[in-house]
Structure 1
């Protein structure tokens, strides 16, 4: 059993609350089918914020079609204590990202790839990225965790991105942690 028991697998965005994962996946499929010749990126990332008596974690899922916009949603997890240890918090952020990525089974990924596959010679593409809210800059406290977290994201078959390229974690998810 993991250190934290997570029960809530509901997702939300500005227009919809309490979406199941199946609904999220259906929205992604519909978004991609609107313009299957697009250049798609399916991106995941988690950020956290320590509050007075709890720590809030937000995992973002974003499907983006270059020059055509994006569809996104979040999943919220509350840990009922202050998680002040930076390594623990970054590690749990990565765990939550891994958890959501794992919902995209090989069959689901194949379904998404199947949308763009007939159009690759017309420029269609599909990539999956895991955005980690860490940076390698000299002044960044999280730089000592970069190799560990990047290896974890790579091990699940997802292209890792760190700051400044990790905008799903550092911008989109961050907005909802406050």
Structure 2
């Protein structure tokens, strides 16, 4: 089954522009196949930046092999207005993350898991995380949204991560919103 929605979404990184989701998925598979006995984390996160006439959203996809490197890309979405309501922006960031995660169908996730399965006895692992650019600290304006946004990530089958552990949203995606 072809996800028609996936056809309209393009990704990029420093070396490749206009990557289809299929190209992104193939890059992730190839990254994992290089050393299938590794400890892999597939991570997603979105950050935004409000400008005078628009709000720019960047959703990052990062596949990390612990202590061995990463492959990453991102999707850019620009809303042609200043989104000043913090809840609206955080909620939309989470929605964009969910949208990209939904491209990873069960069949796609199983293909990635199948890469590491033969190496589980050698310590291989694979996990999926959703990084949210919010913190639970009392001085953090976003702390009131933590439970709701974490529950949304959890519902998608992701391990939710918030600041300071949500680096895909707070560092990788953040860099490209500027």
The bucket for the TM-score relative to the shorter chain is over 0.9
The count of residues paired between Structure 1 and Structure 2 equals 172
Residues 79/8 of structure 1: CA separation in 2 closer, same or farther (3 Å cut): farther
Gaps of 5+ in 1: 1-6
- The one-character-per-residue Cα deviations of 1:16-71 (angstroms, maximum 9, x if unpaired) are 00000000000000000000000000000000000010000000000000111000
Say whether the 8 Å CA contact 1:61–1:72 is kept in structure 2: yes
Say whether the 8 Å CA contact 1:8–1:77 is kept in structure 2: no
Distance in 1 between the 2:89 and 2:25 partners?
Answer: 27
Structure 1 position 9, deviation (Å): 0.7
TM-score, scaled to structure 2: 0.96
Matched, 1:136 2:136: yes
Q: Give runs of ≥4 in structure 1 deviating > 3 Å.
A: none
TM-score, scaled to structure 1: 0.96
1:62-73 matched pairs, under 5 angstroms? 62-73=62-73
Matched, 1:126 2:118: no
Q: Which residue of 2 aligns with 1:165?
A: 165
Distance in 2 between the 1:8 and 1:79 partners?
Answer: 16
Q: Which residue of 2 aligns with 1:111?
A: 111
Q: Which residue of 2 aligns with 1:85?
A: 85
Partner-residue secondary structure (3-state), 1:90: helix
Gaps of 5+ in 2: 1-6
CA RMSD between the two structures: 0.8
Matched, 1:47 2:41: no
Partner-residue secondary structure (3-state), 1:15: coil
Distance in 1 between the 2:48 and 2:124 partners?
Answer: 34
Distance in 1 between the 2:68 and 2:142 partners?
Answer: 33
